Chains A and B, each alone.
Chain A
Amino acid sequence: MAEIKVFGYTDKLSVKPGDKIDFHVSADGTKTANAQLVRLIHGDEHPNGPGYNDEAVDCELNGVWNVKKQFTQLGSFLKVEDPNNHLAIDGDFTVFGYINPSTPHTGAHQWIFCRWNNKTNEGYGIGINKDGHLELVVGDGKEVDYLVSELPMVKKIWYFVAATFNYKTKEATLYQEGVVNRYNSLLGKVVPYDYRSHTKTTFRFKQKNNPKTPFIIAGAIDNHELRGDFVSGTFAGKVDRHGVCNKVLSKDELDQMKLGEMPPKESIVAYWDTTEGYNENGISNTVIDIGPNKLNSIGYNHPVRAMTGWNWSGKNDCFRLAPKEYGGIDFHPDSITDAKWDVTNSLIIPDNLKSGAYAMRLKAGTNGSQLSEEYIVFFVRAKVPKAKICFLFPTASYLAYANEKLSFEAQIIQPMTGQPPTITDIDVEQYKNPEFGLSTYDSYADGGGVCFTSYRRPVVNMRPKYRTSGMGITWQFPADLSIIGWLEHHYKDEYEILTDEDVHSEGLEALKPYNCVISGTHPEYTSEKMLDAFEDYVAEGGRFIYMGGNGFYWVVGHYENEPWCLEVRKLDSGMRAWAAKPGEHYMQTTGERGGLWRMRGRAPQKFTAVGFIAEGFDTAETYRKMPDAWHRTVSWITEGVEGEIFGDHGLAYGGAAGIELDRYDLSLGTPPHTKIVASSGGHSDNYVLVTEELLYAYAGLVGSLDYRIRADMTYFTAPNEGAVFCTGSIGYGQSLPVNNFQNNTSTILKNVVNAFSKEKKLPGGLWTLEEKQWK
């Protein structure tokens, strides 16, 4: 019997009573699993804390579930909607388009433009064969005939390619010309490659078209007895404008089309103008056919759009400025943004379910291995908010890190974390199986950075008890549960939760009912709508506690109807796992410029008073009170803390100030009246200054040599009795559970939450005159 494995995901992340939520589960080696709904209270098993803690919840779904093996379609491609089978051409044809292959020499066949069935060998199309040559293929269901180009394709070069087939004489031709300019391709004019290739031959038979075969760009339909239809032979690389004609175009005509001309109008069956339908708020997932039949194609697993095209001139850096130069669509065979598994079970959230983080715990088998226990996490918000305190789960950031594989692939991870990774069976499992997909910290196999991430797939690091392998600590969701544990301990039944998704969709309205909003430990990824809502909330009198480090950092976006799939473009500067290519800095989902909020004039300091300054993963330090801590406007914050040093404990490297640190900086928009209550110091040299601070790189930008490397605990007041308190360190949240939530960092946070959650005025607000003491 195979090893028992259970994995699952939900269709929604945030629900409220009355909403329906679907569970999608795939299992190996078992046909059943035991389900139990639990409310998650604490997620870190570190022996210095209270350990893992959940609360079993009565639920109609508790009990035995029938589960099965489910399959996942990998790879991005475009499927053409052609109900009348216009593209089943039983006659002369020309298939053409611009292509830019990323990895032409993978040793596997890649389909580019085809109406081909990989199972039955029927149809026609062009692709790249396993030796890296362009290839025209026709099949009659029994045999395959093909024509290959003279020279192999060179990676990351724009080509115009075309294939013609004469139905009567069975003569086939293949046309391949480089369209390299000074900007568009990896190489320039000085390289002695000759990209041209023109071949012809006479085939032995003609194409046979199966009415059920779809026309696919960047893949071909296939079938498996267990799995049914799926797409295989997916392509890595870009395509630009492409189409199909129902006549054999001459070499002269193709020469004109190579320069950007349209094919003769009367011959067009489909002409997909990949630059159609752009507007300033983005580009949809549909590629528009401007030919007579309107055979639009739909993107699966999010082919990346807003990419530079074959004619990119280098002058414009955004698809909104020069849409006609941005016809590029990038495909990756290992992309996955929706696993599309069958629904295993559904739940209508009962009215009595308390707001909080929940998981459907599935256990299968009896050996208790890590892979046979799954927590499918989702969040329940209040139907009608009653509490005054709200914890905001930074789900956008969970998504950005979903299934990251840094420990296995990134050479930088050990130098960065200053330690060897600590991996588990779960990490190995998700590394072995590409169906788990990648995070925005990984690159596709073809080298492109991953700019789409999704929760409609199992997310192994968004579950309790999980320790992030690179750093050996809890990270994101399980780390945030330390704050939930603390709230549960000190404010049981007085708090509710929200997620980034709710704030994005409802804006300020979602936050308004609460007096005090507490962030997660690492709310790094923020959409414009979210950031606007936070800012408005504080400006209108809300009180915000920023419980972490490196927050409000990256710009993210998503299609309004697809909240599960997030887009990130990493560029310019910032601590980033990859860099978007020149000209590809704007998001297709919103039309906004991606990258750091700081680069768009909204450094996190403007909202929270602090922003990312350094990160390190070998040690964590303590805070020391700063002289301003004694000022009566803020002295209430450290009330009850003995001595000047605090935070000498924690589940993350034993200190409250660590992991990622934020610093006060007036030049970046820290509110001028902000006070630094405390700062950390003595960070090791593994704490290195962040790249966006760098103008010139020089030796010594490390903890023991650069004064800027520290966590600042800050406080400022906003209009209408609003206020923002920041801890300036990710590790603060993980310091709370030590000694059963009774410790000095807990005391400080309690002081702040107590003050913030009350309707009345903030303490210390009247002590605003200049100091005139003489003693």
Chain B
Amino acid sequence: MSDIKTKKRKTWKNPLAVWGAKGGNYEVATPEWKNPHQIWKDTKAFKVPTNKVGRFHYEYKSSNHGEKIWNRLRWWPTRRTILWTKGVYNRKSLKPEKIRKDKRPIFWFFSLLFLAIVPFILPDGYKNSLLTAGGIFGIYASINLCWTLVIGTAGIFSLATYAIVGLSAFLTTWLSINLGLPWWMLPMIGMIVGLAFGIIIALPALRLDGFYYGLLTLGLNELCRVFITTSHAFGAASGGLYGADTFINENWAPMTQTLVQYYSGFALLIAALFLFRFVDGKRLGRILKLAPEKKEAFAEASGVNYKRARVTVFLISSIALGFIGGFYAAYYRGSAFDIFSFHTVIMGLAMITIGGIGRADGAVAGTLIIVIIDRVLVELGPYRYIIIGFLMMFIILFLKNGLFGIRKQFRDWRDKKKGEARSSRLERGGEMLPEQATETDNKDEIYRRRYDKMQREFLKTLICDEVIEEHKQKPLGQHSEALERICYYFRRGAMNDKYVVKCEVPFKKYKIMALSGVRGRSPRLVEDKIYETVEAAYHGLFLRRIQDLMEA
């Protein structure tokens, strides 16, 4: 208000003075009259460049069924409809259109279909090596899906996944060799091994956190490796234990053997996907999603028994991993010590991090990428590991949650950029720009903002010591035009954050609050200052409003 001193002072005469109206202020000092319309004449365009807005409707969206009956097909036996399709009215045209809220089944369907028919379309020269890699991919993807359940869904940072698979594979192979168990019993026994081992390593998970638990399980993995490689019973001398019964008949043609390998790996993958879906997407998974990392205490206080859910998921995936171990033994007739090696653990970690931890599609795609680099691009030799290393570095440095997190990451980034761009263009309390207006359904609000801005620009020119003094002398009643215009504006303001006086003790103690503007929600206290009369509170409230006006 420093420039006010130079403003010309005038006197306002109260039209009620002739009546001898109560309350006085028959003549008050007031700022020079200004034309409230001038601001409309002076404002000719937005202060920032304006661009055309609106997005082209490039994606085909089916319309509604109208007169016809729409048969809502469901995923038997659930009540879920296909692709979670919903009808909506387009906000801009009001025309009906469909949105599919869950498009993942489409991608899964085509990806799995591709995997199912790929043996028939591969060129003959590569067929054998690619299908062999495909079988490996199936098994590893299944292991990684179970691992994702542990790390992602249950949030237990276990590195003992391959230890369970390996132990199960070695034990079942040993049993098959020594007791002559048939191949189909191996996965069953593997499940028991997996459960037993799972119980042992689940217990420390309740006490140890993240990193320490990771170290512990890595240690266990190493113990297993040392035990197996030094144990004669498990073929310490031969680099692995082989000779288990298998479902792949050696008398078959080599291509038939390869195909059976490939499709059995594929079948295992499908089974693992179902397991993932039924653990992560059902009750257990939902419970755990309520208790994300670092918010466990809140979830527990809300009555979520997340610990129990965690252990359950851990045990389920341990059983599944044991199964895979038995399957592995029946697949390869045994197992190499390699499965316990640190290299395997690191490769597995690479697989699940590249795709994105906690997601089925991430685990599968990550496995595919690593298997292709590791098993298909064999000619690259040791450079493969450098590529994998760089890939992991890149993903850890630049992506928030692997490849499948890119979509969300991109959208967040775009929204952030959008927000930055807008805030750099918007003036505080200014009118809406085209990009905001298009998001506002009630177009009246757009004009209200314009009108409000004009009014405020004008009213700011009226604020001076004289009007503040006039208000202080007489908060209610007939005011000079300048003060009255300011008061009219304040009184008409929207209800949210509108100031009111709070009476603590009648005629003795008042405070200032701000309304919520939402039915049922209390007003909030805006300051602790106590006013001894209601008139003082009116004026305190007026000064706050002036401050808000000048700041906007």
Contacts and interface: CB of A to CB of B under 8 A. Distances in A.
Interface stretch (A194-202, A341-349, A372-380): A194-202
A433 B23 CA distance: 39
A424 B502 contact: yes
Interface residues of A, number: 71
Contacts of B515: 407-408
Given A150-B64, A619-B22, A620-B22, A432 B70 contact: no
A3 to B, nearest CB: 13
A654 to B, nearest CB: 6
Given A201-B72, A434-B520, A685-B484, A196 B538 contact: no
A154 to B, nearest CB: 8
Given A192-B93, A414-B492, A150 B65 contact: yes
Interface string B39-68: 000000000000000000000000011111
A420 B71 contact: no
Contacts of A148: 72
A110 B430 CA distance: 39
Chain B interface extent, by class: 35 or more
A411 interface: yes
B513 interface: yes
B476 A204 contact: no
B507 A47 contact: yes
B192 interface: no
A200 B68 CA distance: 11
Interface string B8-32: 0000000110111111000000000
A173 to B, nearest CB: 7
A198 B522 contact: no
Contact of A420 (B86, B93, B538): B538
A46 B492 contact: no
Secondary structure dominating the interface of B: loop
B507 A201 contact: no
Nearest to A52: B506
A197 B87 contact: yes
Contact of B69 (A194, A198, A433): A198
- Chain A CB within 10 Å — which of B65, B73, B494 has the most? B65
B214 interface: no
Contact of A200 (B21, B71, B77): B71
Contacts, number: 176
B65 A198 contact: yes
Nearest to A445: B519
A550 B314 CA distance: 75
A681 B21 CA distance: 8
Contact of B87 (A150, A154, A428, A620): A150
B200 to A, nearest CB: 38
B492 A428 contact: no
A384 interface: no
Given A198-B69, A472-B534, A622-B22, A408 B495 contact: yes
B538 A423 contact: no
Given A201-B71, A422-B534, A428-B522, A194 B66 contact: yes
Interface in B289-330: none
A618 interface: yes
Contacts of B495: 408-411
Interface in B455-477: 475-477
A196 B507 contact: no
A621 B22 contact: yes
Contacts of A61: none
Interface string A651-668: 001110000000000000
A414 B492 CA distance: 7
Contacts of A682: 16, 18-22
B94 A411 contact: no
Interface string A390-421: 00000000000000010111110011001111
Given A45-B507, A201-B74, A684 B88 contact: no
20 contacts: A45-B506, A194-B66, A196-B66, A199-B69, A199-B71, A200-B70, A201-B74, A204-B79, A408-B515, A408-B519, A408-B523, A414-B498, A420-B501, A619-B477, A619-B478, A621-B19, A653-B476, A682-B16, A682-B21, A705-B15
Interface of B: 15-16, 18-23, 64-74, 77, 79, 81, 86-89, 93-96, 475-478, 484, 487-488, 490-495, 498-503, 506-507, 510, 513, 515, 519-523, 534, 537-538, 541
Given A194-B95, A423-B503, 9 more contacts: A133-B86, A154-B89, A200-B70, A408-B515, A419-B475, A465-B506, A653-B476, A682-B16, A703-B16
